A and B are shown apart, each in its own frame.
Chain A
């Protein structure tokens, strides 16, 4: 069984919990006391990941770090529908990688702002928030034009991909870092759509959506 080295409040760990829930994969977790225990910098954890970062998974002897990398691995191995990471569609894979990198940008801005506000990290909070807003403007515009063209998800496919999973957690948690999403209505609607994917699961600070309207 897959082991997830997990911290409940981590958005990066939540990406994997979300994906495994979407895919219906069984897994067990090993809680890592990120705050205040700093267990991710402990000797035993640095052996798993010398970068001292969560999340890490262990699957049949393979140890893998980095949320985005693990999303790629899990989707490639465990998604029989092949839609979350369509290996035979180069254009789409390119798009997905592009937005996985974008998700890293969200982590270094929106997530940093949240670490500053919630867990007292010594970051430049103004720069972190301004960076998050810059990215949110880009994503809101991208999603708005997507809606206008009948596209619901971040990449140009008729179904969600791991790019949606990678971007979702630190966007939905952005208010905890003082980054409101009021100016990004298309992002807010996309968040509703992500929450309505079958198998969606919540974490602290993330609320479920109600059922969508069934077309008459």
Chain B
């Protein structure tokens, strides 16, 4: 019976067991759950162990958006259960594939339902109308579910309207493996009670009763006490019944192995940028003067986990591909929100998004990628945003705000009407420092002032138009900020790419040597040979195609690497950078 039970829906908690900012410890058929309600109302039912060291997540912290493991602070996102931050690796974005196992969650009849491998929908119970029910206190019983159900068939209770009486007539309306529906009648009063039995383990159960009528005030408490008293008595009887029999062995939950898709190397493909996700434009609005906001919702399933700083490729109806940062706060996983500024000299990207794409349209997007990861071990973090450069920094500021980590968001814009995503900005409170309508000189002066006072342990994130970004980096360096504390992201690479060199590239892992002629990139030549490399912007700005350089002198033409990384000569962007030496050896 218990094997078959795995494909059924069972209640695993009462709705009132899941207040905000709490983690409920559940169990079904031997498998433990960490169950938590995010601030957006979503109920998460997860395998109760951290993927890192196996510690129970039910002792973790529900911050309303993410669940943090108590042991080493790994953070997992609402809805997706994807890991968003690993404190021991503050400078890295965790791989998207670190994802805890989730189980379906449905709230119905005042209960939270789940299943290991559900077939069909949560059962419809005749006579239980949503909204007018009374969920009783769950009664944990140290006995097998079938023994509890057996006793429940003979459960006697008074109808709500005659709770103080005695001797109501009880009719068994339905009895199944894990539920009994009873009707109690006393003169004109009548109440139906449905008693579900949650098979916690082979020898443990919880009785979760629901009455078909709500009640108020003292009457309500009297009804709840009536059932609590009688069900507790029933519990004691069942426990006495089974006390002398040997207890069945506990069920052994089967822990899912990492799927082959994640454990194995992907097939070699020759095509370039992928757009695995289909989303619909749920909302398009003017987020600021000249900036359109887009809320992208998945057509089916849920969106993958993202980290603050991540971007997606958007494939447009006109065939163009552009990168846009995700502006969402942590745990906001039901949609991706991006902001698109209409560029005056648009080559078709922003123009298409502004003029052609409408609400309801379907777009292809890539998985989120994070080449601009946010450290959360800074003593203080400064964000400097220029114009539409706000988008990745907005996601970051919301993440730090949620964790109550010290930060300031300096937002340079032409005027009030250019400040995008007002609702999100408002949520940041005093951390938001707008700087409006400044000339380039005045911007420089302002930057000099706010970048003064660098202390070890501070970090700076900059995103904005090229000239402003250059100025901010220069000023930061003058004010004593080391390269390792200054993080930046360019929208695009405005360097003129010199692709006149020709050289040899040896791929050490692949045991392949390729010739890169003038006019072709390392990436193109690799793809022509069937070696897939991830890419996104393909102009040396985003960092997706970074490769480790083992030997040779690189000719950097990107804007992703900082000066220290350039000098170190161990990384190269294969989409634009080339070789000064006759040969490069890459760790590919």
Contact = CB atoms under 8 A, between A and B. Distances in A.
A and B associate in one complex? yes
Interface of A: 141, 144-145, 147-149, 181-183, 185, 188-189, 192, 207-213
B39 interface: yes
Contacts of A182: 25-27
Interface string B125-142: 000000000000110100
Contacts of A213: 20-21, 39, 64
Interface in B10-65: 13, 16-17, 19-22, 24-27, 39, 59, 61-64
A81 to B, nearest CB: 25
Contacts of B140: 183
A210 B62 contact: yes
Contact of B70 (A141, A183, A189, A207): A207
B24 A141 contact: no
Nearest to B27: A182
A145 B228 CA distance: 10
A145 B61 contact: no
Given A213-B20, A213-B21, A145 B224 contact: yes
Nearest to A209: B61
B268 interface: no
Contacts of A188: 22, 24-25
B21 A185 contact: no
B252 interface: no
Interface of chain B, helix or strand or loop or mixed? mixed
Contact of B63 (A144, A149, A185, A210): A210
Nearest to A210: B61
Chain B interface bracket (under 10, 10 to 19, 20 to 34, 35 or more) = 20 to 34
9 contacts: A148-B221, A188-B24, A189-B19, A189-B22, A192-B22, A207-B59, A210-B61, A210-B63, A211-B404
B379 to A, nearest CB: 20
Contacts of A181: 25
Interface of B: 13, 16-17, 19-22, 24-27, 39, 59, 61-64, 68, 70, 137-138, 140, 204, 206, 220-221, 224-225, 228, 232, 404
Interface centre among A149, A189, A210, A212 (most CB of B within 10 A): A210
Given A185-B24, A188-B24, A192-B21, 15 more contacts: A145-B137, A145-B224, A145-B225, A148-B220, A182-B25, A182-B26, A183-B140, A183-B204, A183-B206, A185-B13, A188-B25, A208-B61, A210-B21, A211-B21, A213-B39
Given A207-B59, A209-B61, A211-B404, A144 B137 contact: yes
A83 to B, nearest CB: 23
A210 B39 CA distance: 13
9 smallest beta-carbon distances between A and B, as pairs: A183-B140, A210-B61, A213-B20, A182-B25, A210-B63, A207-B70, A185-B17, A213-B21, A212-B21
A148 B224 contact: yes
A183 B232 CA distance: 13
A43 to B, nearest CB: 41
